[in-house]
């Protein structure tokens, strides 16, 4: 979520009294603001510091009024961008922070493990509850029919019992397309998966080689082009299109081999062994003189094993942000014993693993080879990779469809990452995928070697530019249609929408709900929308000196938030949510505001101080 959905949703929560907004020079300088509660005078106010980014003004106004009535004196720490927000969070300068999570893998384990389990790679706010950890592991081993009740109990412990988070709402996923330029039916809108570029096409197909496909994004600072080092809105779409994976997700969150490195995947009986038979028409690309070049090197089993092992190893790179997604993998290996595949059955079926893997192949499997130089699918020489999980865990396939499971070049990554991870110094060590290496200027030294349909050529203050990988599934339905992609950096969505309407960009990913009528009223635009897996919520600082380690204060905030009022302002284009699981599993849990209880919990807090 990573954070963000296919992009990170950061909301601004502003608390205080209408008409009592006083800014000093220091307030303006530091992007902070104090507001005083003007609710029930019988309730002694509680100080609270809110950390957020300067966006989503509607949420600011709604929540300000709600929490002001509950009785809070609020100091706002509003940051202009995600980097500044993260810096303030790491410094502990907040009591509550406003954020969001998009489950881009389509499975509930992803919606909880990284952010709510002890030691999760996005649990940087101090949450540690053994009961939550136990419930996450229990649900992970269960089928969808079984895990509904487990996740229901998980939500109860997370929200009702402890108020560790404050759910706000889930959102629609949307994008606006210039249908005069792009074939609208070539642009996919998936519930979870980030926007795939390779299928996008022009109305005038003669422009494929002469004109770029142009879209925009708000974040100009890119976390990393190493897929395991980032899981946020700055790079989710980018890394999705630069790295092929073992499997993909359909638009409705079903696991599929279509458009992936695998012809087929098979689950062995027992749900603990997973087999993938690899294509031989995906080659690595590199950049020479700011042009994409086919290296001629096959994306092969050794690269898969290398990529998956580093994905699950927390210490494989500094600042590994996605390791917990892949911690269920125990062993990744290349299978060369063809006869052994005859002896194993496909889960829930009588067919052998070998028969299931052979379905629809260019030729039957005659030999399994370990060395990529020996691969020749037409002659029946294939590679098979086997993933064994630590326990039965069918949801592992969803994680393998995530951009963090992108396949990187073993040879290239090992050549670049020569530093000692334990002694990594960001001021002198340059890691594979660092944005400085692709930024125009003195630091430009593009060392990317990618397996996906597009490769990044360069980045500057205004845009990041990509070119088609000439070695990616050439001659198939998955070969990229358009040669060049340009992503413009436009800081706000209003300006992005203006750029779309003027023809400067061709697609706007994530259209604000209040702009739907404007898009729908423009004859050259078309609006795609559907329910998403994005949930907006607030989390508390459970570290350091924050008073909101106190359960009573957290429950006061929880009971003050009225989702009905939020939805009304958005003309019911938002959807009620109870937790980050709400868009994936119907647990039946519903959040209801209770202003009287909010005041009671504040009073309980003060009583405990006597």
Cα–Cα distance for residue pair 143/147, rounded to 1 Å: 6
pLDDT at 514: 87
pLDDT at 34: 60
Task: Give the percent of the chain with pLDDT over 90.
Answer: 76
- The model's pLDDT over 384-404, given as tens digits with 9 standing for 90+, comes to 999 999 998 989 999 999 999
The answer to which of 181-185, 208-212, 352-356, 391-395 has the lowest mean pLDDT is: 391-395
**Average pLDDT for residues 424-437, to the nearest whole number?**
94
Coil/strand/helix, residue 79: strand
pLDDT at 40: 54
Neighbours of 302 (CB within 10 A): 18
pTM of the predicted structure, to 2 decimals: 0.80
- The model's pLDDT over 90-102, given as tens digits with 9 standing for 90+, comes to 999 999 888 889 8
Cα–Cα distance for residue pair 351/365, rounded to 1 Å: 16
Identify which of 152, 67, 76, 170 has the alpha carbon closest to the alpha carbon of residue 108.
152
Going across the sheet that includes 283-288, the strands are 291-298, 283-288, 449-450
**Better-scored residue on pLDDT, 464 or 71:** 464
Coil/strand/helix, residue 528: strand
Q: What phi and psi, each to the nearest 5 degrees, are found at residue 453?
A: -70, -20
**Better-scored residue on pLDDT, 348 or 357:** 357
Coil/strand/helix, residue 34: strand
Identify which of 249, 241, 242, 281 has the alpha carbon closest to the alpha carbon of residue 265.
249
């Amino acid at each position: 979520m990573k954070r963000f959905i296919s992009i990170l949703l950061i909301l601004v929560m502003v608390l205080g009294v209408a008409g009592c907004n006083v800014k000093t020079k220091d307030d303006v300088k530091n992007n902070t603001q104090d507001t005083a509660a003007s609710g029930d005078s019988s309730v002694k106010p509680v100080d609270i510091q809110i950390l957020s980014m300067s966006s989503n003004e509607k949420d600011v106004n709604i929540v300000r009024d709600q929490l002001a009535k509950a009785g809070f004196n609020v100091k706002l720490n509003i940051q202009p961008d995600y980097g500044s927000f993260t810096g303030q969070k790491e410094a502990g300068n907040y009591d509550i922070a406003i954020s969001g999570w998009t489950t881009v893998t389509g499975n509930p384990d992803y919606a909880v493990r990284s952010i709510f389990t002890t030691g999760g790679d996005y649990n940087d706010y101090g949450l540690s509850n053994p009961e939550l950890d136990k419930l996450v592991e229990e649900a992970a081993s269960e089928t969808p029919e079984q895990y509904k009740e487990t996740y229901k109990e998980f939500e109860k412990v997370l929200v009702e019992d402890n108020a560790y988070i404050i759910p706000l709402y889930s959102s629609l996923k949307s994008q606006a397309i210039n249908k005069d330029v792009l074939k609208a039916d070539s642009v996919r809108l998936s519930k979870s998966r980030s926007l795939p570029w390779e299928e996008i096409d022009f109305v005038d197909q003669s422009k494929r080689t002469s004109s770029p496909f142009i879209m925009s994004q708000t974040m100009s600072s890119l976390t990393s082009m190493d897929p395991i080092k980032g899981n946020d809105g700055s790079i989710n779409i980018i890394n999705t299109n630069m790295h092929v994976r073992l499997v993909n997700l359909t638009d409705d969150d079903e696991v599929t081999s279509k458009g992936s490195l695998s012809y087929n995947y098979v689950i062995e009986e027992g749900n603990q062994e997973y087999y993938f038979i690899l294509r031989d028409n995906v080659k690595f690309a590199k950049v020479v003189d700011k042009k994409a070049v086919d290296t001629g090197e096959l994306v092969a089993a050794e690269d898969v094993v290398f990529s998956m092992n580093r994905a699950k190893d927390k210490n494989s790179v500094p600042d590994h942000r996605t390791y917990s997604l892949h911690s269920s993998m125990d062993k990744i290996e290349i299978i060369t014993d063809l006869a052994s595949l005859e002896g194993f059955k496909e889960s829930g079926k009588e067919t052998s693993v070998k028969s299931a893997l052979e379905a629809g192949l260019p030729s039957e499997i005659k030999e399994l080879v370990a060395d990529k130089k020996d691969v020749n699918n037409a002659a029946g020489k294939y590679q098979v990779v086997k993933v064994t999980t630590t326990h039965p865990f069918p949801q592992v396939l969803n994680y393998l469809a995530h951009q963090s499971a992108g396949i990187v070049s073993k040879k290239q990554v090992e050549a670049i990452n020569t530093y000692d991870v334990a002694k990594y110094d960001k001021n002198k060590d340059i890691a594979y995928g660092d944005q400085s290496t692709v930024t125009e200027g003195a630091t430009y030294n593009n060392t990317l070697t990618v397996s996906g349909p597009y490769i990044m050529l360069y980045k500057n203050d205004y845009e990041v530019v990509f070119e088609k990988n000439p070695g990616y599934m050439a001659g198939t339905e998955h070969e990229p249609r358009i040669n060049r992609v340009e992503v413009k950096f436009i800081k706000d969505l209003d300006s992005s929408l203006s750029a779309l309407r003027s023809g400067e960009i061709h697609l706007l990913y994530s259209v604000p709900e209040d702009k739907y009528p404007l898009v729908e009223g423009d004859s050259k635009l078309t609006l795609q929308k559907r329910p998403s897996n994005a949930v907006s919520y607030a989390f508390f600082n459970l570290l350091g000196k924050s008073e909101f380690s106190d359960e009573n204060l957290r429950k006061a905030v929880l009971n003050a938030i009225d989702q009905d009022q939020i939805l009304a302002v958005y003309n019911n284009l938002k959807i009620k949510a109870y937790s980050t699981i709400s868009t994936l599993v119907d647990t039946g849990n519903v959040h209801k505001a209770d202003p009287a209880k909010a005041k009671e919990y504040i009073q309980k807090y003060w009583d405990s101080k006597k």
